[in-house]
């Protein structure tokens, strides 16, 4: 004999439960103060700039190398 399956709660019940849980978890978050936020933002921006410069330099070196090889062989 098949066992009766439980009905799935409606979308509104699941959505309201989800939002209650999100609110509960957001209360547990340790939010940074202004000084920490500025420090973290600075670290991210400096890192992004350094990585962009590095990738740019590597791109230029590879492009010039390929151009040189193309001129030599072509």
Q: Is the dihedral of CA 73, 67, 65, 63 positive or negative?
A: negative
Q: pTM of the entire structure?
A: 0.61
pLDDT tens track for 2-52: 566 678 889 999 999 999 999 999 999 999 999 999 999 999 999 999 999
Tokens of residue 67, six digits: 């151009």
DSSP secondary structure code for residue 49 in this structure: H
- Reduced DSSP (H G I as helix, E B as strand, rest coil) percent helix, strand, coil of the chain, to 5: 80, 0, 20
- Segment 57-73 shows an average pLDDT of 95
Which sequence spans correspond to the domains of the chain? 31-74
Q: Given a cut of 90, is residue 63 above it in pLDDT?
A: yes
pLDDT of residue 5: 67
What's residue 4's pLDDT? Answer: 63
> Do residues 40 and 32 touch, judged by C-beta distance below 8 A?
yes
């Amino acid at each position: 004999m098949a066992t009766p399956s439980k009905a799935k709660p409606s979308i509104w019940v699941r959505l309201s439960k989800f939002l209650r849980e999100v609110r509960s978890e957001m209360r547990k978050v340790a939010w940074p103060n202004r000084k920490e936020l500025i420090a973290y933002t600075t670290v991210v921006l400096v890192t992004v700039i350094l990585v962009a410069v590095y990738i740019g330099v590597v791109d230029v070196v590879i492009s010039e190398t390929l151009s040189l090889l193309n001129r030599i062989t072509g």
